[in-house]
Structure 1
Amino acid sequence: MAITKILVPVDGSTYSLKAFRIALDIAKNNNAKINVLTCLEKEDVGAWYIDKRTNKKIMNDAKKFAKDFLSKLEKPAKDANIPISLNILETKSVSNQIITFSNSNKIDLIVIGSHGRGGFNKFLLGSVSNKVSQMAKCPVMIVK
């Protein structure tokens, strides 16, 4: 199986950053492109409905923070001559968005951290990485 497109979902957690570093090595060995994906989750309950202007500001601030964070991942990829694309998407379900992105972009391999920011250490596998591993059409590498 040829690996030409790798997807790395990143949320800023230690596990997702480790997954990114491993994806760099895989991309280098396979002349592959890396797609980094950050999902900004919006809630359907509570304060989200109170004031749409506040909701928009919160999401814009989150996008700016995500762009600043993701821009730091460009340098190691460029230093290694690995093509990289940075993607920030709003979603109601992070795991579903990862699967949708993977399918629509014909990803060959997903490299994902075992736990993200929302993961609890007492569980063996985070809920997002678990669902992605169950639902993805391509191979999934889970990084601890």
Structure 2
Amino acid sequence: MYDRILLPTDGTKGVDRAVDHAIDAANRYDATLHVLFVVDSDIVNAYSGDEFVDEAEGAESTLEDLGDVAVEDVATRAAEAGVDTVTAVIHGVPHEEILRYIDDEEIDLTVIGSKNRPGDYRRMLGSVTERVSRMSTAPVSIVKTTVSG
């Protein structure tokens, strides 16, 4: 039923439940698990400008390092469960890059975590999970985290 499952991760606390679900689904369907981290270009661009060049490069490098660790942690857990993985750390607007990855890699199912955020936060910034679930061409399984904030 599913040959390619995507797990977008931001590497934050609380993503473990989504990781567990994604690995379980990949194992159950003998699917390849794609693990994706998107370096948020909006964060990097917030430090743009001549006076912030060093800060922008530092933010970008820090986010890339966080992404490398996040995808490798999931890949290690998946390997322990006998699941094949593909990992990627890319740059862009998170929901746009996740949606592009779904289409480009012909993903059959996306498993994505969702944090409990206050209403004002969600209205102001939106939700990557909400946008992906609304706009994806493939099924999306949303896994609620136990961590709020």
Same fold (TM over 0.5): yes
RMSD: 2.1
Distance 1:45 1:28 in 2: 38
- Residue equivalent to 1:128: 128
List per-residue Cα deviations over 1:8-39 (Å, max 9, x = no partner). Answer: 11012344321111011111110000111111
Q: CA deviation at 1:52?
A: 3.2
Percent identity for Structure 1 against Structure 2? 24
Superposition misfits of 4+ residues, deviation over 4 angstroms = none
CA contact under 8 A between 2:38 and 2:97: conserved in structure 1? yes
CA contact under 8 A between 1:9 and 1:38: conserved in structure 2? yes
Distance 2:11 2:4 in 1: 21
Distance 1:58 1:81 in 2: 34
TM score, norm. by length of structure 1: 0.84
Distance 2:111 2:85 in 1: 14
- Residue equivalent to 1:30: 29
Q: Name whichever structure is richer in strand by fraction.
A: 2
Number of residue pairs the alignment of both structures matches: 138
Q: Which runs of 5+ in 1 are unaligned?
A: none
- Residue equivalent to 2:108: 108
- Residue equivalent to 1:94: 94
TM score, norm. by length of structure 2: 0.82
CA contact under 8 A between 2:35 and 2:75: conserved in structure 1? no
Q: CA deviation at 1:45?
A: 5.7
Q: Which runs of 5+ in 2 are unaligned?
A: 145-149
